[in-house]
A and B are shown apart, each in its own frame.
Chain A
Amino acid sequence: MTATQTPAIRVAGLEKSFKDLHVLRGVDFDVARGSIFALLGSNGAGKTTVVRILSTLLKADAGTATVNGADVVGQAAAVRESISLTGQFAAVDEVLTGRENLILIAKLRHMKDPGAIADALLARFSLTDAAGRKTGTYSGGMRRRLDISMSLIGDPPVIFLDEPTTGLDPEARLEVWEAVRELARGGTTVLLTTQYLDEAEQLADRIAILHQGRIIANGTLAQLKKLLPPAKVEYVEKQPTLEEVFLAIIGSDATAPATAPAPTSRERS
């Protein structure tokens, strides 16, 4: 088996308990190289625990996990070489500026010319204007974008995004989605956790539902839809969702989803 044939992430029989709380009760899944894999589940389902085990921050009680062909326990250093983690809370240094944050990570990844890497990422994530400001002054969306751009330094083949849009406003959410798609286009494997169904639907090639410590469903969106009885055809008037209305009124032109209807309510604004 060569490295290119093995899945980017392989998880088998993963179990983890915190005292009496069995958070993971045998989790299995594979993530194909270059795909976006969404781990969907409600709060407390164990999504973050899975991500922490995969990123070598936590040891499992049982089961195995390999990332990019390396075991997360036995070859933790090799795993850390090939991953990047964007945790649930934006992992940026608030005292440093955006550019300094990027340079810090580039230096820690032992890259040549950290300044140039920082400038390129700032441009790519539309943060050039804010480059010299302390990140403590950034909006939630800017912070997340900076966070994700920090994860790209060194081109790790696998990226973990733990609830990347939790707590963001709708505009910032779309910005982050666009950033994730951008990653996947570059061939990076992305494992993202989310509690938002539409986020998984929008982004993921494959979705696994984690419930009470187990994966209870795993497949493409089309496959998951087949788990339910075939769709009935009903005729309903298409009402814009509040999100679509909100985005139309505030005139967000940046990254509106393709499904957004033409703004119809502008005269009311």
Chain B
Amino acid sequence: MADVLTPARLAPAATGSGRTRRMWRRFRRRPMAMTGLVLVVLFLLLAVVGPVVFGDPTRIDFGHVLGAPSLSHLLGTDDLGRDQLTRIASGARVSLEAGVLSVALAMVVGVPIGLVAGFYRKHLDSVVMRAVDVVLAFPFLVFAVGLAAILGPSLRNVVLALGISQIPAVVRITRGEVLAVREQDFVAGAIADGATDRTILTRYVLPNATNALIVQATVAIPGAIIGEATLSFLGLGVQPPTPSWGVMLTGAQQFLSQAPWLAVWPGVMIAATTLGFNLLGDGLRDVIDPRSAR
């Protein structure tokens, strides 16, 4: 590739933060990655600041039912006269919570399991991985739908259902990384220096597996956001009147011919957010993990 031998790549980094700076420089040169970053930052802004700025998303105004986009309601109003922009912003927060919390849950549970299974191998590994295979045999969404149906509809249960559904994938990826890292010479060195298993896992294996896990988390979040929208769309997730993009899509169905903008904007938001996280994840993978650089 053309950028391999630029001076920036050759210059030795002066400090540990120099490494981060170098990664950022490489990241910045990738237009797709930067697009992803911008989309994700906009989404985060909307989710964090939006609900504060736009106010109550459940305020009903029967004077403006199914209003087309206008200056007072930029994205129009729904069948109860609620402002769409306000609901989109609140929906962003729901998506963020569902996406981030469920992935966090899957990581907190899945990473330790993957670490231990991959490090000790033998029977434990076989048992864990067969269990993972069983769960992975179900499509992610089918499994999540099943779980959500059992748990009952609420944002908390959506997070639980999506989080649990993602655990097997996290276990598998963590284990794969552990298998690669544990064969490295520095692990043999740590054993020769008298390190305990715990030290080796926490200081040698986990830190050298984090890059892959960060990438995995970034790629898993959009999956969870779509999962939330799907569950809510099916009525298994967030319940009206709480605005979730999936809930909004369900409502928009009946008015598709009268008020198509009701369906367009939640759909665009889901697509843009998912795209943003995926582009960001791909960019991070390229920059952080040299093995998959090209």
Whether chain B is bound by chain A comes out as no
